[in-house]
Amino acid sequence: MTETIPYWHVDAFASAPFCGNQAAVMVLEQWLDDEVLQKIGEENNFAETAFVVRDETGKADWELRWFTPTDEVALCGHATLASGHVLLRRDGGERVTFRTRKAGILEVVRKDDAYELALPLTRVEPSSQPELLAALGFRGETFLSYEGAEQTAIILLKNESEVRALDPDMTALGKIDLMAICTAPGDECDVVSRVFVPAWGVPEDSVTGSAHAALAPFWVDRLGKAEMTAHQASRRGGDLVMRVEEDRVWLGGPCVTVVEGGFYLTG
C-alpha cells in the first residue's frame, strides 16, 4: 500500500530560488512513527523537514515537528516560516499558529509580500568554551544560553571578514553538542553570522531562524536598535529583519516554493 503525502520544497528567507535555507514541508493526516519521520528527514536530506498535523486541542491551528537528517530538534525557525508560507498560500488567511513540543505556540503572519515569524527568545551569558574555540580555529568571547533554547553558543568576532574567513574543523566540532553561532557587526547590515551544527547533522546551516532568536537580544543590548537587519553569510546566504518584543523575537523574510508534489510512502 502506498500513501501519498503532500510535499513542498521551500527556500525560506529567500526572495528568489537557490538562496536562503531549504526546508521540506509535509502535511500529515496523523502522526507517523518517529522512526518513519526520521527516515523521511534523512531521505529529504535538508537541514530540516517540517511535519504538520491538524491540532485537535484547540490551542493552535497545527501541530509542528522538525527533523534534520539525523535528529528531531526542539526549535527550527526557517522551517516554521516555510510551513507558514505553505499553509497560508494553500488555505488563505493572514495568520497561522503552531503547537510544538518544546518551543510552545509559534505563529507566522503575512507582512506585505513576505512573512514574520515569532520565536521565543534565547538569552546567553559569558562562558568559557576552549574546545569550541579550538574546533572553530578562533580565539574570542564565547557565550552560552541560559534562557530559551538549550545548547546554543554565540561566538563574538570583531568584523564580517573574520566571520567569512572561518574554516572550522568539522570533525572536532561534530563532537560538541552545541549550535555554534559566529557573529560580528556587518559591513552592509547590522549583524552578520554563520552557524555550524555538525553534531546535529548540519555542518553549516544556510539561514537559521533559531540562531537569530539568540542573536536579536544579544545585539539589541550592544547596538541599542529596536529593529535590525541581519545577513547569514553561508554559501547560499539569506537576509532577515529582526526585532525583540517582550519575550519574543520577530523575524521577517520572504519564501519561495520551488517544488510541490507528493512523497510516496510505501508500507
Considering the domain architecture, whether residues 24 and 110 belong to the same structural domain is answered as yes
Considering the domain architecture, whether residues 106 and 137 belong to the same structural domain is answered as no
Number of domains in the chain: 2
CA neighbor of 48 nearest in space, from 8, 108, 88: 8
Q: Which residue has the cell 528531531?
A: 72
Considering the domain architecture, whether residues 44 and 23 belong to the same structural domain is answered as yes
| C-beta of residue 236 within 8 angstroms of C-beta of residue 18 | yes
Q: Tell me, what CATH number does 198's domain have? A: 3.10.310.10
CA atoms of 192 and 154, how far apart (whole Å): 12
CA atoms of 169 and 86, how far apart (whole Å): 36
CA atoms of 168 and 102, how far apart (whole Å): 30
Residue-wise pLDDT for 19-67, tens only, equals 999 999 999 999 999 999 999 999 999 999 999 999 999 999 999 999 9
SS percent in the chain: helix, strand, coil, step 5: 25, 45, 35
pTM value is 0.89
Considering the domain architecture, whether residues 216 and 185 belong to the same structural domain is answered as yes
Distance of CA 193 to the CA centre of its chain: 13
Residue at 35 is within a domain: yes
Considering the domain architecture, whether residues 16 and 107 belong to the same structural domain is answered as yes
Considering the domain architecture, whether residues 161 and 111 belong to the same structural domain is answered as no
For this structure, is 35 an active site residue? no
Residue 117 has pLDDT above 80, yes or no: yes
Considering the domain architecture, whether residues 115 and 184 belong to the same structural domain is answered as no
* Phi, psi of 106, deg, nearest 5: -110, 155
Q: Mean of the per-residue pLDDT values for the chain?
A: 95
Residue of 48, 107, 116, 160 with catalytic role: 48
Residue-wise pLDDT for 152-172, tens only, equals 999 999 999 999 999 999 999
Residue at 33 is within a domain: yes
Considering the domain architecture, whether residues 73 and 129 belong to the same structural domain is answered as no
Residue-wise pLDDT for 200-241, tens only, equals 888 999 999 999 999 999 999 899 998 999 999 999 999 999
Enclosing domain of residue 206 = 123-239
